[in-house]
Amino acid sequence: MGELLKPYVISNVGMSLDGKLATIDNDSRISGEEDLKRVHNIRKNVDGIMVGIGTILKDDPRLTVHKIDAKIGDNPIRIVIDSNLRIPLNARVLNKDAKTIIATTLKDTPNKIEKINKLKDMENVEIIRTGIEKVNLKKLMEILYKKGIKKILLEGGGTLNWGMFKENLVDEVSVYVAPKIFGGVGAPTYVDGEGFKTVDECVKLKLEKYYPFDEGIVLEFKVKK
């Protein structure tokens, strides 16, 4: 079998020192303005920004380059991973500021068919279908690569991050760690999902760079392949 041709994937989050992406009440204001500008500089230099539907439902993000000087044409393609097509039709990620790809499964329900038809009427929206119960992330990466998406910024949340790390689809990690502790067993962490059972199986990283930033620290790693 040939090597998987896939986009280069950078995973970025802002997290508390205890690895949380938000508090138990879903307050995710972790990064300060400087860190958000750092993230938007990464956004400006990738072809796609990817998030899971959990993040859309909780944060209603725009996923555009809006914290630094940029033109609408600088906006990368937004990619939402949404197995059951739960995306609200008024989600900000569906606005006209950029193109949006919604990746969903091949499984049909009457509600899903109706939603797909509505989404197809939106000129900036494209739907890609792969996988049965969950979006098949490996196949999706191949499809995106063939469409010319060569570099992706993965912006979470914890469930999608797990899916991407488990399938060995992440190439680089860049995290801002804030000097804050949130606690809470139910608060989302950088990587959730079912987790690896042994240290042997886990994703191994090579530390490349670290520097104090805002009130915290930025850590950059390459994923060992």
Ligand X SMILES: NC(=O)C1=CN([C@@H]2O[C@H](COP(=O)(O)OP(=O)(O)OC[C@H]3O[C@@H](n4cnc5c(N)ncnc54)[C@H](O)[C@@H]3O)[C@@H](O)[C@H]2O)C=CC1
Ligand Y SMILES: Nc1nc(O)c(N)c(N[C@@H]2O[C@H](COP(=O)(O)O)[C@@H](O)[C@H]2O)n1
Residues that bind ligand Y (CB under 6 A): 12-14, 28, 30-31, 39, 51, 55, 59, 61-64, 155-156
Window of 13-21, 88-96, 122-130, 215-223 that interacts with ligand X by CB under 6 A:
13-21
Q: Determine contact, residues 142/5, Cβ cutoff 8 Å.
A: yes
Residue nearer to ligand Y on the CB measure, 51 or 140:
51
b/e for 118-145, b at 16 or more Cβ within 10 A? ebeeeeebeeebbbeeebbbbebbebbb
Strands of the chain (E only): list them: 8-16, 48-52, 77-81, 100-104, 125-129, 151-154, 172-178, 205-213, 216-223
User: If contact means CB under 5 to 8 A according to the sort of partner, which of ligand X, ligand Y, none does residue 54 touch?
Assistant: ligand X
Would residue 53 be called left, alpha or beta, if left means φ above 0 and alpha means ψ between -120 and 50 degrees?
alpha
Residue nearer to ligand X on the CB measure, 23 or 75:
23
Window of 2-10, 21-29, 88-96, 211-219 that interacts with ligand X by CB under 6 A:
21-29
Could you tell me whether strands 100-104 and 48-52 are parallel, antiparallel, or unpaired per DSSP bridges?
Answer: unpaired
User: If contact means CB under 5 to 8 A according to the sort of partner, which of ligand X, ligand Y, none does residue 100 touch?
Assistant: none
Q: Is 12 exposed, middle or buried (0-12, 13-18, 19+ CB in 10 A)?
A: buried
Kindly state whether residue 178 participates in binding ligand X, applying the rule CB under 6 A: no
* SS3 at position 180: coil
Q: CA-CA distance, 209 to 138, in Å (whole number)?
A: 28
The residue from 7, 48, 76, 158 that contacts ligand X (CB under 6 A) is: 158
Least separation in angstroms between residue 209's CB and ligand X is: 19
Kindly state whether residue 53 participates in binding ligand X, applying the rule CB under 6 A: yes
User: If contact means CB under 5 to 8 A according to the sort of partner, which of ligand X, ligand Y, none does residue 83 touch?
Assistant: ligand X
Q: Enumerate binding residues for ligand X (CB under 6 A).
A: 13-15, 21-22, 26, 28, 30, 51-55, 58-59, 81, 83, 134-135, 137, 155-160, 163, 188, 192
